[in-house]
Structure 1
């Protein structure tokens, strides 16, 4: 019988939790180290919690749709409700881009994603908007939301059942390559392993640097603003592709936001109140009714995307060090891709290479060689 590998997973956000579960389920001896006091306290816990299969890139379509189906079936498979609700996703597409968007819809449908173009009249019934300049609207009925905390803790509980151990308040200070693997120091504690899986989110580059590797991931803040409770009707996730404005209801509130193009890199979870004026001014052009809604600062928050140069994740082993595996840099879609990514990383480590799909285009060499990918539907 083959002795299981010792694996250290760095990071207990949703990606680290999924990787830990899938690795432990494959019989590996898994130890998870997390710097925060509890799981899901980095980007995971501050995410917008939305999931969608509507992408322009085939890999994003595949990984996201497979993950959404896992969330959809999670309670049936594992007897745990992770808060998946198919509340829908609606894209308002500029006239100049409509033909291209229909090509994306065809790609999504080829992969089984339930998405369609709908009439302006049907779309207006979901979320009112100014129609000027639009070519059409797409609707994804299985897109929606999931609870990032419930999903993360579910994967942790299942990982523990399979023998994984988790250590909170355990910030990694030093990583050393040894003859037989890795030695990791966190405070006074020393951990040894055959493999390291880097799931440190926006801190993945700092983690890599401890071992002498450059993993180009950085934090970039995103702000979410909120109306007062019961001040607007319920609306599904609605995205104006021309401006980048997005909004959706959550409980009694309407949440909305817009990425700031000149946002400096760095970990920052303070809400940018000055930016809210620009967001409202921009949103008012497409959704004028939003300008009449009372706002509630207590419902706002800020989190960070863990961003790579091309907004695609870095997956797989380093070419120069096959016992170092990255699963980081999801650029705002880690929650929606975590279930399938955990499976792929387990294949990479246990089988020598991910094989359910080809992750070659997502390996770090694309960034080293300047072969950046393109995704037009990143918020």
Structure 2
């Protein structure tokens, strides 16, 4: 069953508007003439470039824990709220307690304000697939009804689970409000840092011996399109949002032309930091677990009920990122193919490589490094 036809909202409020997803969602919504007002909310002002992109949007600098948000909801007769301001890691000047307070307490108070606002008819939550965790006991694909096989290690995942629970509770108390939860797969895009894309394009990529994670990603453009679809359409319930197909970690590293460096788990963080650089510290616990195990999502409901089709597959999203960043290859893919063919012949006992072939493998030449 597909989602009902689009019911364009009249006044939309978006939280987290100074960040990538929230800001660009506001930009898309302001370009829709059927929407009368778009109100952007965040604790910090957006950049000049983002402000220009937002166009006619009205920016309100406020914390969602501030009662001012409630006044905005009532005075502007907001009918649709998109909550996209969940922090993935603790702020630089704060702690894990501060992160939990901003995420969980902030969401609780925002949903309470939505419950009291008579005009609100829809609340969309930007959640994440981290709620499923990552472990060796995971199924091939998680459906929306499944839960993590073990407690997620990071604060972002635990906060996301709590926030989802509070939103469902508000939906039960106000059944006239449509509640939609989008669990986004890990994003890949040139505008994002400390993501899968930047990890697999490090010059030398640390991996864990005996593991080859299954990566199912989501192009940032598809993430924005899914949020816009949920905002405009009659979307109720929980949805996995991910691209088609998976890419193994080793395959992703190879397509980026980088060098995989397997190591024991005990050395992964410390030695990996020396290989990847200071950005290794920016990866959340959830993302490091994803590099170890990966995670697959069942997107049947996304297609049949939400009526959303991602434009990019996982493989296409990865290749688009590599092209956009003009990643400088360390190893030429054709050279790897030749090496694999020769090694296969040797292991099969039928190798007659000859001196020229061996020299070609040992000395790939100048073409081994290219844009």
Higher strand share: 1
Relative to the length of structure 1, the TM-score reads 0.23
- Larger radius of gyration between Structure 1 and Structure 2: 2
More RCO (CA 8 Å, sep 6+):
1
Q: Identify, as 1 or 2, the structure richer in helix.
A: 2
**Taking structure 2 as the reference length, what is the TM-score of the superposition?**
0.24
